[in-house]
Structures are given as structure tokens and as C-alpha cells.
Homo-oligomer: A and B are copies of this chain.
Amino acid sequence: MNLRALETLVQILTVPSFSAVAQIRNMTLSAVSMQMKALEAELGVELFDRQSRPPRLTPLGRQVALQSRGILEARDTVTTLCQRGEKLVGQFLIGFIQTASVRILPGFLEAARREAAGASFQFSAGLSETLSDFVAEGRLDAAVVTQVDPMPAHLCVQRLATEEMVMALPATHADADQVQLEAQLPFIRFRPSTGIGRLISASLSQVSAQPQQIILDSIEGTLECVKRGLGYTVLPRPDVERYCDAQMVIRTVSDLYPSRDLVLVTRNDRQSDGWRDALFSLMVTQE
């Protein structure tokens, strides 16, 4: 099916005769006639009643013309999509690690709707290493992850936020020092396979051998255990504060545990150069 023929057909809705359409479209009457004949042949139906001299659209022909108008409009949305001057145009596949999808994603979506109407986004969740690899392979356009070493090659890394690691412990143990704590309560560890968990594991090995450990894979679940006095844990401050209440106290432990960076990773190629900074600015503005 030829779009030029559909354009002709659609014009015939508003113009009385083939010859008039031919003039408007800068073609010969002959060409118009043949376009319509070919269209009829392809669809296997009569679009025109040729008993009458300016051939008349049949009801079916009229319907086809109206539908064709829809096809052409759909095409025009594509061309205008491509003519936008904006940087962020297209469908972006973006990965988020769990905590970032809570902290960064909502504000990002809001900013994107405001400032990047031509763009759409599809998100997927995963671990920092996986997402970084996906970006490197081209299966994702970008990802928000915690900085990991070593980063896959040819990736561009931009820091979005720094999250301080804090200790969350039951209010009943608010006064215990580190040694007492370790003796009295088990350490509840966030699943070590994730970025956070790894970071903590690395730190822990320098601190002390933990006699008792509970391993959980949910931040909310971890903190719920803390509130009930089942143990203590170490997590990024924003996550802890979100669930904090009177049953729990927060202790700053920046000397024991390093902070972590949330970063935006993109491929370091010419394509990404076109939109990397625009994407980055949509993610930081919502701070």
C-alpha cells in the first residue's frame, strides 16, 4: 500500500473530482486515476462509483479514506517527533537499583513529563553490576546504580547523590556501645549480592567478625526487625529515615562505614553524548 495513493484518496474527500486533485497534487489526471485503480485492486474493493462522472466515493471508499486519514496522521506524528529540537526524544530504557527507584525515579518522572514531552521511558530493576553490564552491552540506555569497582569499560559515570550509611538499632539498646551491641544483638544484613550489601560486607570484614547474622532482602523488612528488637543493621540514611519511628534510633557511624554514591551510568559513545546531560539534569533537579 502506497502512502502517496492514500494521500490522494484523502484529498478526494474534500475535492470534487480526480482532475481537481491532480491539479492540487501536481500530477496528471492519468496518474490519479491509476493510483486509485491500483488501490482498489490491492484492497479488492470498489472505492469509487464510476457510473457517475466525477467518480463518487462509495460508502466503503469514504470509510477507507477516513481511516487513511488516520494512517497519515500517525505518519505525521512520527515526522514531527523527529523534527523536535529537543535533546531527549525517543524511548529510553533505564535501569534503577531498588533504592534509587524510590528516591530518584518519582521526581525524575515528574521532571521528564514537564521538560521532555517527546520522550518515553521504560524502567527495569536489578543489581548495580547487572544494570551496568546491560548499559555497556546496549540492552539499556542508562542506569542509576551505586558506584561499583571495577566499572565496565566505556561507561560514563555521573554522580547523582551521596548517601551516608547509618546504623539503625532498637530504641531499647540506644545506649549500648559497639561492643555491647555485638554481644547482645545479631546483625541483620541486607542481601549481600546487591550493591549495598557488598559495600557493607566489605566494611564489616575490617571491623569485626560477626558472631550472629540474619540476612534479609528487603529494606522495609530489615528495619521492621530492628524495631522489634531482633537486631541492628546498617543502611543508607534516607532509607532508614523513611521507616524510622520511636521504636528505633539512628546512630551516625561515618567512621566505620563509608558512604555510597548513586550514579548515572551511560555508554561513552557519540549517540549518548546527544542526551546524556539532558537526562542527568532531569535526575538531579528533583533533589
Q: Is the CB of B59 within 8 A of A91?
A: yes
Smallest Cβ-Cβ distance to A64: which chain B residue:
B78
Chain B residues with CB below 8 A from A62, complex form: 90-91, 93
Q: How far is the CA of A83 from the CA of B44 in the complex (A)?
A: 8
Q: Is A67 an interface residue (CB 8 A)?
A: yes
Task: Write out, one digit per residue, whether chain A residues 53-74 have a CB within 8 A of any chain B CB (1) or not (0).
Answer: 0001011111110111011001
CB distance from A132 to the nearest CB of B (A): 17
CB distance from A100 to the nearest CB of B (A): 20
Q: Is the CB of A61 within 8 A of B77?
A: no
Q: How far is the CA of A141 from the CA of B56 in the complex (A)?
A: 10
Query: Copy number in this complex?
Result: 2
Name the one of B68, B74, B138, B270 contacting A56, with C-beta atoms under 8 angstroms.
B138
Q: Is the CB of B64 within 8 A of A68?
A: no
Given contacts A63-B119, A64-B81, 10 further A-B contacts (CB under 8 A): A2-B3, A59-B90, A59-B91, A59-B275, A60-B89, A60-B90, A62-B90, A63-B81, A63-B90, A70-B74
Chain B residues with CB below 8 A from A68, complex form: 78
Q: Is A75 an interface residue (CB 8 A)?
A: yes
Chain B residues with CB below 8 A from A275, complex form: 59
Q: Is A205 an interface residue (CB 8 A)?
A: no
Which of A59, A61, A89 has the most chain B CB atoms inside 10 A of its CB?
A: A59
Q: Is A102 an interface residue (CB 8 A)?
A: no
Task: Write out, one digit per residue, whether chain A residues 95-133 have a CB within 8 A of any chain B CB (1) or not (0).
Answer: 000000000000000000000000110000000000000
Chain B residues with CB below 8 A from A176, complex form: none
Chain B residues with CB below 8 A from A269, complex form: 49, 51-52
CB distance from A206 to the nearest CB of B (A): 41
Name the one of B59, B81, B141 contacting A67, with C-beta atoms under 8 angstroms.
B81
Q: Is A239 an interface residue (CB 8 A)?
A: no
Q: How far is the CA of A123 from the CA of B246 in the complex (A)?
A: 70
Smallest Cβ-Cβ distance to A120: which chain B residue:
B63
Q: Is the CB of A44 within 8 A of B75?
A: no
Q: Is A14 an interface residue (CB 8 A)?
A: no
Which of A3, A60, A93 has the most chain B CB atoms inside 10 A of its CB?
A: A60
Q: Is the CB of B271 within 8 A of A58?
A: yes
Name the one of B2, B56, B271 contacting A49, with C-beta atoms under 8 angstroms.
B271
Name the one of B67, B79, B91 contacting A78, with C-beta atoms under 8 angstroms.
B67
Chain B residues with CB below 8 A from A138, complex form: 49, 52, 56
A–B Cβ pairs within 8 angstroms, 22 of them: A1-B75, A1-B78, A44-B83, A45-B82, A46-B271, A51-B270, A52-B138, A59-B89, A59-B90, A59-B91, A59-B119, A62-B90, A63-B91, A63-B119, A63-B120, A64-B90, A66-B91, A67-B74, A67-B78, A70-B74, A71-B78, A74-B74
